[in-house]
Every structure is written in structure tokens, then in C-alpha cells.
Amino acid sequence: MSTTTKSPKKILLAAYAAAEKVLPTYSHRFSPHKFTLPQLFACLVLKTFLKTDYRGLAQWLTDCPDLCRVIDLTTVPHFTTFHKASYGLLALPKAYKLLQQTVCMTMKHSYVDQAAIDSTGLEVGYTSYYFVRRRHVKGLSAYQSMLYGHYPKLTVICDCRNHLVLAVKTTRGPCPDMATLIPTLQTLPARIRLGTLLADAGYDSERNHVYAREYQKIRTVIPPKAGRRTNNLPRTKYRRQMKQRFNQKLYGQRSQVETVFSMIKRRWGSAVRARQLMTQEREMWNDPQKLYHCGLESIR
């Protein structure tokens, strides 16, 4: 099982160590050189850990100088500095590199015996379920149950042994799960090798089996339930094998990815504040740092 921490100092140190190996020291040779990019990134991670805003982060660092000393921060940046730094430091290309670096720092070996993949939808805003249910809908007497037709969707591959997030893909829902398996596998760190990948019936596709087994050399366990119900065996090779000798005991470990989603939503909430798709993706990756913190807190 994963080992987590509640210490802001440990979170700062872990984020700073990962950023030092990925980010340059300064954004430009003519920059003021007051703060390094790893220092600013570690502060942004702390902002999410403390569930505060940019003004609150600056006040925390002012009132707690011990946190500044952890990352050799001599002067507390203005809150607008954090806001401007977030646009460059939390962009998706750098987020991929930072997540991969965190995985490499956390794992003592490169082989993962069992991994699981699944996706979840996140809320947009903080409208309460009670308000949505009671809100009057013109022409309808029944309660309203849906708030919006589109939502940010998060796909995760995690290690079933310690709940460490290994790969992430952000999309916009609703969309079929089977279309996200291959793109998510492509974001795995190069040094990480998966033995078995567990997925629910939403990922049932011969194309997914072929890519994982023949190109990535990963054994897939997916219930063959796509399409209409029938007693006949599937015509394709790997889906037929799933139908003939499905390992139900091994498939039971797929629920570990549900535990990861539960950890994320309990610790950082199930809603994103951003309105635009691009900023929602950045927030799912790094602004709430939900997935990144799962990696940082698992460092033993």
C-alpha cells in the first residue's frame, strides 16, 4: 500500500527535487534571477497541498519562514509572480516530464507487475447537488439531475501495489473509454515496464489488446462484453481468449484504481475551477496537483 505524508516540508522537498532535474534554473538569462523555476514550482505544489490561492500562498510563506528555508527561498515572491509562473510551469509538456521524474524518484525498480486503468469525470464549479435537484426546469415537473453536458475527464494508470500514478490522459467527456487506452499507455515513462494491465469492459476492444500485447508486450485483462449479448465466441483472437479463459481473481485487483480516484477526490475535491478546456486540463494535471501529489506523497 502507499505511504503518504501530511508534512508541507516533505512535499516541498519532493517537488523541489523533481523540478531541479527537469526544469532549468531560470526562464531566461536576462531574468531578474530572484527566484529559480524549481523554487516557484515547489511553491505551486505547496499551494495545492494547503488548498489555498496565490495570495494565501504568499501569506503562508511569510508567516512560516521555515518553509522558505527548506528550498533556500530568501524572499517571498509576490502573489502575482506565482500566478504568472503557473502558465509556463504547469503546461502539459512540462507536466508530463515532471510526472515521469516523480515516478522515477519514487520507484525502486522499473517493472510493475500489475497495473490498472480507469477514468473518472470531474465537476465544473461548486454548485451543490441539492441546488441542481431543486432547480426548476421549464416545462418539466420532475427534479433535474444533470448540471452540464460536458465535463473534464481524467484517465489514470496506477500501480496496484502502492497506488502510484504512472500515466495520465486528460480529455473532455462524455467520450468512450476504449479510445483513451492507447494514448494513455503512450504517456508511460520510457523506463517503466508493465506486466499486466487490468481494465473494465469499457476498454474492451481488439485494437487495444493488439497494441498492448504486440507493441508494448503487456498482458491485458479486459472483460469481453462489448457489443450485443450473445453466446457465440468473439471472432477476434484476443477477445476470444478473454472469453475462453478470463482470470476473475486477477481482475479483482482492478478496483485499486478506484481507490486512487477516491484518494484524489477526498484530498483535493471532485471539482475544477477553470472554465476553458485547456485550463481545465492544466488544473487536472497540476493546478490542483491531484495526480502529482499522489506521486510525491508515495515517496518512501
Q: Are residues 127 and 223 in the same domain?
A: yes
1 domain-assigned? no
Q: Are residues 157 and 69 in the same domain?
A: no
Q: Are residues 156 and 203 in the same domain?
A: yes
Q: Please determine, for residue 14, whether its predicted confidence score (pLDDT) is greater than 90.
A: no
- Per-residue cell: 81: 509572480
pTM: 0.78
- Residue 276 DSSP SS3: coil
Condensed to tens digits (0 to 9), the pLDDT of residues 165-200 reads 888 888 888 888 999 999 999 988 888 899 999 999
Provide the number of structural domains found in the chain: 2
95 domain-assigned? no
237 domain-assigned? yes
Our measurement of the distance from residue 123's CA atom to the centroid of its chain's CA atoms, rounded to an integer in Å, reads 15
Q: Are residues 182 and 82 in the same domain?
A: no
- Answer whether 85's CB lies under 8 Å from 75's CB: no
Q: Are residues 71 and 128 in the same domain?
A: no
Residue numbers of the domain that contains 77: 8-89
98 domain-assigned? no
100 domain-assigned? no
pLDDT > 90: what percent of the chain?
Answer: 32
196 domain-assigned? yes
Q: Are residues 69 and 166 in the same domain?
A: no
**Distance from first CA to last CA of the chain, Å, rounded?**
11
Mean pLDDT for 132-147 is 59
Residues 6+ apart with CB under 8 A from 272: 122, 123, 124, 152, 280, 283, 284, 288
Identify the DSSP state of 47: H
66 domain-assigned? yes
Condensed to tens digits (0 to 9), the pLDDT of residues 84-129 reads 888 887 776 777 777 777 777 777 778 899 999 999 888 776 666 6
